[in-house]
Structure 1
Amino acid sequence: MREYATQMEAAKKGIITPEMKIVAEKEYIDPEELRALVAKGEVAIPCNINHKAISPEGIGTRMRTKINVNLGISGDAKDYEKEMQKVELAHKFGAEAIMDLSNYGKTNTFRRELIAKSPAMIGTVPMYDAIGYLEKDLLEITAEDFLKVVRAHAEEGVDFMTIHAGINRRAVEAFMREGRKMNIVSRGGSLLFAWMMMTGNENPFYEHYDEVLEILREFDCTISLGDALRPGCIDDATDAGQIAELIELGHLTQRAWEKDVQVMVEGPGHMAMNEIEANMRLQKRICHNAPFYVLGPVVTDIFPGYDHITTAIGGAIAASSGADFLCYVTPAEHLRLPDVNDVKEGIIASKIAAHAADIAKGVPHARDKDNAMAEARHKVEWEEMFKIAFDPEKAREYFESTPPADRHTCSMCGKMCAVRTTNMILEGKTVEFCSEK
């Protein structure tokens, strides 16, 4: 029996846990420095006591930017085998987290297999699962029912849960008063809004927040405070509804920390590039520097089919401005459930954003592979380049698709390759193009 219930309680007691030691080694940080950051809530290590396969990761201040991959079945796409193929891709390309967003039938079959096998953190949104799990219509579900689903997910080993506790009556009033082009685009937020409007009751996750925290504390499950009122188009960004909910999330963050429950706070959403940095700073200020988890942001609304690119742009700006955790977006966003290829494109795009931000933030050793790639390119060592590349198979496939006559160049520049020309001159050789040498 361990001496602490959660990573945060251990940190406050001065205990460096085995999970902290692993994270400290991964992040090139002194374990004592990490412990202090966990104690303050600036770093979360989502690690449910029942998730035995996990490889712990830290999210927050001084940590590498992490990415999350959304998976799960729906009524229109319920192929468990295909979802497991996506899981394998997430593992292959180093996604640190996987969220099971299944919303059809008895979803715990897929989730239990995921938790049993996955070294990545596993997240869920209990609100999505409530209807299928309880087999009740929305109006029939009680506050106690919602808590049952939270407990079920925690017992299964879920490492973090998105709980939309901030969309209370005050936040709804601000949203209703101002109005929006896209209204509420959060699935969990819309269901809670509907439940509140139909029953006349307060948000059950807000009203019974202490009970939610007690459940999460028991299993050391991190709460990810969901942004139900996140903007769903760039014109709705930074409006009264978003900010009203953010203020509530800041207060809920402190209440969770008082119970030694680790916290992440979720953020926008769709947002023009010029608003991103200010939003990151505002979120960190109001939520006391808790780890910040963003969806995108999507920086323009007119590129369906390419939203992995629009969000990579926004994600890079967000992470370089303070966001700690990026939720991937695939080319299928706004259109359909992503297939395996969509998932790969989404993962790669998010990894690009996260890595680019880590370089900008000066994260220790972030540039190491980039420098190694520069050295391999300087020497025109193709095998070394492929080895260093994040996706070696694709790099090799492109190179080999139009093979150059001279393996010391590629088919784009041929013998006019700038690297080849400069290397030859510096080696004291003569550069000639009109005769074979």
Structure 2
Amino acid sequence: MMYHTQMEAAKAGVITEAMEIVAKKERMEPEKLRELVAKGWVAIPANINHKSLSPEGIGTGMRTKINVNLGISGDCKDYDAEMEKVKMSIRYGAEAIMDLSNYGKTNTFRKKLIEMSPAMIGTVPMYDAIGYLEKDLLEIKAEDFLKVVEAHAKEGVDFMTIHAGINRRCVEALKRDKRTMNIVSRGGSLLFAWMEMTGNENPFYEHFDEVLDILYKYDVTVSLGDALRPGCIDDSSDAGQISELIELGALTKRAWDRNVQVMIEGPGHMAINEIAANMQLEKRICHNAPFYVLGPVVTDIFPGYDHITAAIGGAIAASSGADFLCYVTPAEHLRLPDVNDVREGIMATKIAAHAADIAKGIPGAREQDDLMAQARHKLDWEEMFKIAADGEKARRYFESVPPQDRHSCSMCGKMCAVRTTNMILEGKKVTFCSEK
């Protein structure tokens, strides 16, 4: 029997090739992973048409994964520059890349991306609808949106952000409980505008079963988007955000019943003291579906440094239950990120993910850290550079002000604490004035 999706196979007791690969990466027994996929607690986004994919698991017991957002805009339409960002993202170990292009005929870039990328590819069909259909927002019909979903699925996209939760009930909650920033989700704002101008229900909510039919056909994971995510810390955990989360929980069960894998998207901007509770709330309301968070950004006054504000929130979120972190770059809120911004965003998010994995006791998470400690104990710089997540940068910093003695660095020199202690424990004398 042919199983269209990873979840369908898992429910039937079948361990797929993708499950075998993920289990090996995660140091988990394949049967245990199969059980988690069958329950929906782990998603393996793997479109049947993405032939270059190296599958990854997202969810309970898995390493925290990171996503990089890329794409063409009307103001920045340099396809070569975006492809350089893609190559960098893969080189630095991002497990997922979202193509958020919203200008022109985006499928040329997307097809090339899917053809060469071992990372999971995600999209937001709502972004592409206007350019793909060549219609103004008011002219687009419900069936038109489904055409874009089908086109992305057929091309090989592994997961799609579908803002199906912002229905009329959620809009009423939003209007009743006024916000400082209103709606900051691009896709959510477009759907809200379409609903208000046409008087119709959200087409992705109204026709959710038809969306699921498309996703099932190609084994695309639905990433249920948080159209009402908070865009400032003043709006976090409000009625709009929580009412949409309740709708996403109901949609999760509907998707699982149709053997479509699910991820839930979350905030956003949020003060540190609210993060852990929000992670637990999502896991409870959405039946332990994998949680995919943007940040959270923990303070609103550091534009230019939001890779740091987001990494702080991401580390807390992931250690409290989030499974998938969307990177944030220094350019967030300011402009389309350049290659350097992408690098900084990736590394900040990887720090958050890795720190959380250590806290959660993920198998093997501490191994590299322990090796680094051993290399530092020996003051073995070459070994340190080899172990470091970004050894190239570490070497560049070390060699920019080279020490006189390679057994230390230029900060402490011969007064290096490690050197001093090692010498004493080896029975040697420590002297400074007489040393040449």
**TM band (smaller chain):** over 0.9
CA offset digits 1:211-238 (Å, max 9, x no partner) = 0000000000000000000000000000
SS in 1 for 2:376: helix
Question: Could you say which residue in structure 1 is the equivalent of 2:80?
Answer: 81
Q: Percent identity?
A: 81
Question: Could you say which residue in structure 1 is the equivalent of 2:223?
Answer: 224
Question: Could you say which residue in structure 1 is the equivalent of 2:174?
Answer: 175
Q: CA deviation at 1:320?
A: 0.1
The separation in 2 between residues aligned to 1:134 and 1:78, in whole angstroms, is 19
1:394 correspondence with 2:393? yes
Amino acid at match of 1:184: I
The separation in 2 between residues aligned to 1:295 and 1:122, in whole angstroms, is 17
Q: CA deviation at 1:428?
A: 0.1
SS in 2 for 1:348: helix
The separation in 2 between residues aligned to 1:79 and 1:286, in whole angstroms, is 42
The separation in 1 between residues aligned to 2:153 and 2:2, in whole angstroms, is 20
CA offset digits 1:80-123 (Å, max 9, x no partner) = 00000000110011000000000000000000000000000000
Question: Could you say which residue in structure 1 is the equivalent of 2:416?
Answer: 417
Amino acid at match of 1:391: D
Question: Could you say which residue in structure 2 is the equivalent of 1:249?
Answer: 248
1:184-223 correspondence runs (5 A)? 184-223=183-222
- Give the structure-2-normalised TM-score: 1.00
SS in 2 for 1:16: coil
Amino acid at match of 2:90: H
Q: CA deviation at 1:3?
A: 1.6
Question: Could you say which residue in structure 2 is the equivalent of 1:362?
Answer: 361
SS in 2 for 1:223: strand
Q: CA deviation at 1:409?
A: 0.2
Q: CA deviation at 1:297?
A: 0.1
Question: Could you say which residue in structure 2 is the equivalent of 1:135?
Answer: 134
SS in 1 for 2:98: strand
1:68 correspondence with 2:67? yes
- Give the structure-1-normalised TM-score: 0.99
What is the count of residue pairs matched by the alignment?
436
Amino acid at match of 1:74: S
The separation in 2 between residues aligned to 1:272 and 1:230, in whole angstroms, is 13
Question: Could you say which residue in structure 2 is the equivalent of 1:261?
Answer: 260
Q: CA deviation at 1:359?
A: 0.2
Question: Could you say which residue in structure 2 is the equivalent of 1:12?
Answer: 11
Question: Could you say which residue in structure 1 is the equivalent of 2:310?
Answer: 311
The separation in 1 between residues aligned to 2:153 and 2:90, in whole angstroms, is 22
The separation in 2 between residues aligned to 1:303 and 1:30, in whole angstroms, is 44
Unaligned runs of 5+ in 1: none
SS in 2 for 1:314: helix
The separation in 2 between residues aligned to 1:433 and 1:274, in whole angstroms, is 49
CA offset digits 1:180-221 (Å, max 9, x no partner) = 000000000000000000000000000000000000000000
Question: Could you say which residue in structure 1 is the equivalent of 2:403?
Answer: 404
The separation in 2 between residues aligned to 1:28 and 1:436, in whole angstroms, is 50
Q: CA deviation at 1:270?
A: 0.1
The separation in 1 between residues aligned to 2:392 and 2:324, in whole angstroms, is 27
CA offset digits 1:272-302 (Å, max 9, x no partner) = 0000000000000000000000000000000
The separation in 2 between residues aligned to 1:155 and 1:230, in whole angstroms, is 29
Unaligned runs of 5+ in 2: none
Q: CA deviation at 1:391?
A: 0.5
**Superposition misfits of 4+ residues, deviation over 3 angstroms:** none
Question: Could you say which residue in structure 2 is the equivalent of 1:126?
Answer: 125
Amino acid at match of 1:118: S
SS in 2 for 1:123: strand
